Amino acid sequence: MKARVHVSLKSGVLDPQGEAIRHALGTLGFEGVEGVRQGKLIELELAQTDPAAAEAEVKKMCEALLANPVIESYKIEIA
Amino acid sequence: MRAAVIVFPGSNCDRDMQVALQAVASAPVEMVWHKETALPRGLDLVALPGGFSFGDHLRCGAIAGKSPIMRAVSDFAHAGGHVLGVCNGFQILTETGLLPGALLRNGNLKFLCKPVALSVKTSASPFTSAWNAGDVATIPIAHHDGAYVADPDTLAELEGEDRVAFTYAQGAPNGAVHDIAGVLSANRRVLGMMPHPERAVDPAHGGTDGAPLFRSLADALVSA
């Protein structure tokens, strides 16, 4: 089964890369983009077949390595 | 003083650190590969060098922080051992939780490589005792991810306990909160800093303002 982990900077943490993207979109003529936050998507292929067990395991992975809880939050999707 | 420098794949300041410890602190230095699970016996100091360990994949210092040797370094620190992390070493120390906060992409998104003026904020540590608080030292930075961040409670704690070792004297070029360039652990025996003192210990470097850090260590750890 597959898991997707979305990792993003916490809301209070400045994201200069997102700001650079917003600026570039403005340069291209896209108006009204009031904010951009950049994150990352990590896709995992898991041998586990039980969704609840898979989610519990991926949560542990997030806490141990995939996200830094000091600056990042994460969201897990199991598919 | 006996020291070890940890070498990760992608470390590139490990030999500079070795030379600085040998030349300024007269310390025998062992180089320890990250796959080792134990440190040499009888160490006083472990240094985590600058570089781009594991290509900065995932987050700077994240993969190195989970290396086999880091469990031993963590045990060493918790037992009262001295640990110095410079640049990528600082990032690794925050990733392992040995120091609070985190290092983010520079505010202007540029890789910054230049000498900067640092303000020494405290002389009350084994890393800074050869300076007086308020001294200014010019030491090079070379990083893309050096914007120190920490939540307000952590900042208040660091400043309240005199644990900010260095600030950028002319404002943080990288966007670091409160201009912080280096922080100490609660027991003051773990220091992480973005600037490279090991690149400022020989007149041929263009300056020797980093040397007092190694002299401080030599004084503090002479009888250990």
For chain B, the structural domain boundaries read 3-222
**And the tokens for A46?**
């898991």
Q: Do B105 and A71 touch (CB under 8 A)?
A: no
Instruction: Give the count of Cβ contacts less than 8 A between chain A and B.
Output: 35
* Residues of chain B numbered 68-127 and touching chain A (CB < 8 Å): 94-95, 100-102, 104-109
Q: Which fold has domain B3-222?
A: Rossmann fold (3.40.50)
Q: What is the DSSP string of B162-193?
A: T-EEEEETT--TT--GGGEEEEE-TTS-EEEE
Instruction: Chain B: give the shortest CA distance to residue A56, in Å.
Output: 21
pLDDT score of B171 more than 80:
yes
For an interface test with B, which of A65, A66, A73 has the most B Cβ atoms less than 10 Å from its Cβ? A65
Asked if residue B54 lies in contact with residue B8, where contact means CB atoms within 8 angstroms, the answer is: yes
Q: Count Cα neighbours of A39 within 13 Å in the Cβ-side half-sphere.
A: 20
> pLDDT (tens digit, 9 = 90+) per residue, B69-116?
999 999 999 999 999 999 999 999 999 999 999 999 999 999 999 999
**Residue B164 to residue B134: CA distance in whole angstroms:** 12
**And the tokens for B152?**
């307000």
Give me the domains of chain A, ranges plus CATH numbers. 2-78 (3.30.1280.10)
Percent of chain B whose pLDDT exceeds 90: 99
Residue by residue, pLDDT tens for chain A (79 residues) are 999 999 999 998 999 999 999 999 999 999 999 999 999 999 999 999 999 999 999 999 999 999 999 999 999 999 8
Q: Inform me whether the C-beta atom of residue B9 falls under 8 Å from chain A C-beta atoms.
A: no
pLDDT of residue B69: 98
Percent of chain B whose pLDDT exceeds 70: 99
**And the tokens for B91?**
């990032």
pTM, entire model: 0.95
Cβ-nearest to A71 among B109, B149, B175 = B149
pLDDT bucket at B54, cuts 50 / 70 / 90: very high
pLDDT of residue A79: 87
For an interface test with A, which of B54, B56, B95, B105 has the most A Cβ atoms less than 10 Å from its Cβ? B105
Query: Looking at residues B171-186, what average pLDDT do you find?
Result: 98
Closest alpha carbon within chain A to B145: A16
Q: Inform me whether the C-beta atom of residue B31 falls under 8 Å from chain A C-beta atoms.
A: no
pLDDT of residue B223: 56
CA angle (B86, B186, B106) in 5-degree steps? 40
